[in-house]
Amino acid sequence: MIQWEKQYELGIESIDSQHKKLIEITSNLSVLLTGAVQGDDIYDEMVEIIHELTKYTVEHFRFEEGLFDQLGFEFKEKHIEEHNKLISEIEALDLRAVDEDQITYGKKILKFLITWVFKHISGSDVLYKDLFISNGVH
């Protein structure tokens, strides 16, 4: 199970709650993989989680990007490139590979997501933190 850690909070309630939701969805994949290790067929549930993750990630990114435009975030283009790359990578997941080896592929997806989300929050998202807070984003 993946848990949100206070060290990743930006102090922007709307963004922090969205990040927590991304971690929650990722954690659902972790829990699901535990079932697969015990022999459960998790393909349908894994596909559902991947679709949920894609949809929510797009919503979250659009929310951030709207604030970038509104507040004139100077690193906007690079940040949006990171967003677009993640969405492309999620959309490119080979669901046939998931079906063939649910545990191996699921662990690969999980590791990728955990690394990306926490690295992005602590590396890229902190760059807009002061701008958002100083402009009253909650």
pTM over 0.75: yes
Is residue 6 in a domain? no
Is residue 1 in a domain? no
Q: Count how many domains the chain has.
A: 1
Is residue 47 in a domain? yes
* b/e code 67-98 from CB counts within 10 Å (16+ = b): bbeebebeebeebeebbeebeeebeebeeeeb
Which residues span the domain enclosing 62?
Answer: 11-134
Q: What is the pLDDT of residues 16-47, one digit of tens each?
A: 999 999 999 999 999 998 878 788 888 999 99
Is residue 65 in a domain? yes
**Residue 55: per-residue pLDDT:** 94
Is residue 2 in a domain? no
Question: In this structure, what CATH number is given to the domain that contains residue 40?
Answer: 1.20.120.50
Q: Is pLDDT at 1 greater than 80 in this prediction?
A: no
Is residue 79 in a domain? yes
Is residue 102 in a domain? yes
